[in-house]
């Protein structure tokens, strides 16, 4: 099993990378999604940078409460992604839909692995 701290670091690094790409290159993201508005990509990117910073901080010394909070945020992200796909399906490109779904699957995997990693608190 992957150690909890490793899963948190992977979550934090992948969130940070995605956030920076969206915040720095919102025009590229908008083009891929087939839309003209860039502000939503900047906003999501900045949120991810803040989220990633928190996750990387928690990864140094995880506590059950902090990890549960991260898992909740990841779960909300997955649900939000499903809602976004439903409501934006006709407004964004097919590749945009696939990217949202792919990111949601990745985040869901992080949540599951973090939940499994929580068992280390029970055995400690």
Query: What digits encode the pLDDT tens for the residues 72-121?
Result: 999 999 999 999 999 999 999 999 999 999 999 999 999 999 999 998 77
Residue 33 belongs to domain spanning: 4-123
**Considering its fold, how many domains does the chain have in total?**
1
Confidence check: pLDDT of 41 > 70: yes
Confidence check: pLDDT of 67 > 90: yes
* DSSP 8-state symbol, 36: S
Q: Strand runs (DSSP E) across the chain, as ranges?
A: none
Of 122, 112, 114, residue with least CA distance to 55: 114
For the chain, give the percent of residues with pLDDT over 70: 98
pTM: 0.93
For residues 87, 91, 93 and 94, what is the CA-based torsion angle, rounded to 10 degrees? 40
pLDDT attached to residue 82: 98
**CB burial readout 7-28, b (16+ within 10 A) else e:** bbbbbbebbbebbeebbebbee
Mean pLDDT of 64-75: 98
pLDDT attached to residue 120: 79
pLDDT attached to residue 124: 58
Confidence check: pLDDT of 24 > 70: yes
* 115, two tokens: 């939940």
Mean pLDDT of 25-36: 98
pLDDT attached to residue 1: 80
């Amino acid at each position: 099993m992957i150690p909890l701290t490793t899963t948190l670091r992977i979550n934090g690094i992948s969130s940070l990378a995605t956030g920076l790409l969206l915040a720095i290159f919102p025009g590229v993201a908008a083009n891929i999604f087939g839309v003209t508005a860039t502000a939503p990509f900047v906003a999501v990117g900045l949120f991810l940078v803040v989220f990633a910073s928190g996750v990387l901080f928690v990864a140094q010394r995880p506590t059950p409460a902090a990890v549960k909070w991260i898992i909740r945020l990841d779960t909300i992200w997955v649900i939000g992604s499903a809602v976004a796909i439903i409501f934006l399906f006709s407004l964004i490109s097919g590749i945009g839909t696939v990217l949202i779904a792919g990111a949601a699957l990745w985040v869901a995997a992080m949540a599951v692995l973090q939940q499994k990693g929580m068992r280390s608190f029970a055995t400690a």
